[in-house]
Amino acid sequence: MGFRGEGYLAHPGIRAGGDRDQPLVLEQLEVPPYSLHGDAKIVRGVAENVVKHAPDAVLIMVSNPLDEMTALAAKVTGFGAQRVMGQAGMLDTARFSHCVAERLRVPVSAVRTLTLGSHGDTMVPVASACTVDGRPLTDLLPAADIDALVQRTRDGGAEVIRLLKTGSAYYAPSAAAARMARAVAEDAREVLPVCAWVDGQYGISGVYLGVEAEIGAAGVVRVVERDLAESELTSLREAAEAVRAKQADVASL
């Protein structure tokens, strides 16, 4: 994806667009299942080229597995945590909103949802923050129905691939990454759900995780905490430990 002065870093499977003053969006053009070792090798190579050709860039990761590749890109580039983030929460929240709107037969614009945690099995839907026309989602659907919508959200990428038959999910990931890049380019200071470095928030430290963050020209301005139900906080901390282990696995790849 290019943002003014579009350019591409030549490397198999990933393209990156941007210049020194614009956000770079790294997108892996691969259909699951993923090869962790192969993906890490590709991301490492591209990250090294980012350092060489766009050393002042803000990096927005789209490559899967998202949480692990975001952590790896931060490690390889040596950029401060502020300048490296991933788009998972934006994508998962958009998919969750679509699922809720379809289930209740309302416009997507009437739905407000939020997902935190990992981009995967430990994604944390924040039911306490979900509303439809201002009404809590928990007042409109039983827990079992909400759980089913959450699972469909987790499986959203695979569902799109099954429908496409060839290729991968790219419309929603591209839209999510573009919105993040716009927030950087315009110094919007917009609070968005992204994969960001967590350092003490929610009692969690030292891991890239899906949280809400204020996004501006410098990248992640700050991680924004909100009040969570006890079960949501527990799930978020469990997600942090799950992705921490996975991120450690790719650190040496």
pLDDT digits (tens, 9 = 90+) for 149-169: 988 888 877 777 777 777 666
Amino acid at 11: H
- What per-residue confidence (pLDDT) applies to 10? 35
- Terminal-to-terminal C-alpha distance of the chain: 26
- What per-residue confidence (pLDDT) applies to 145? 94
- What per-residue confidence (pLDDT) applies to 20? 45
Amino acid at 179: R
Helical spans, DSSP H, in 120-229: 137-140, 143-154, 156-164, 171-185
Question: Crossing angle, helix 66-77 and helix 36-53, to 10 degrees?
Answer: 40
The bridge status of strand 123-125 relative to strand 115-117 is antiparallel
Q: Is 98 a catalytic residue?
A: no
- What per-residue confidence (pLDDT) applies to 21? 53
Burial 160-186 (b: 16+ CB within 10 A, else e): beeeeeeebbeebbbebbbbbbebbbe
Q: 86: which strand partners?
A: 61, 195
From the candidates 11, 53, 98, 119, which is the catalytic residue?
A: 119
- What per-residue confidence (pLDDT) applies to 249? 83
- What per-residue confidence (pLDDT) applies to 160? 72
Give the Å distances, CA to CA, from 153 to 103, 146, 157, 196: 12, 10, 8, 20
Tokens matching residue 155: 């499986």
Total-model pTM: 0.83
Q: Using CB atoms within 10 A of its CB, is residue 137 exposed (0-12), middle (13-18) or buried (19+)?
A: buried
**Regions of the chain where pLDDT drops below 50:** 1-20, 28-31
Dihedral sign computed on CA atoms, order 116, 225, 192, 79: negative
237, 204 contact by CB (below 8 A): yes
Tokens matching residue 16: 């990156």
- What per-residue confidence (pLDDT) applies to 132? 97
Q: Using CB atoms within 10 A of its CB, is residue 36 exposed (0-12), middle (13-18) or buried (19+)?
A: middle
- What per-residue confidence (pLDDT) applies to 224? 97
Q: What is the rounded distance in angstroms from the CA atom of residue 85 to the CA atom of residue 24?
A: 11
Dihedral sign computed on CA atoms, order 80, 81, 82, 86: positive
- What per-residue confidence (pLDDT) applies to 64? 86
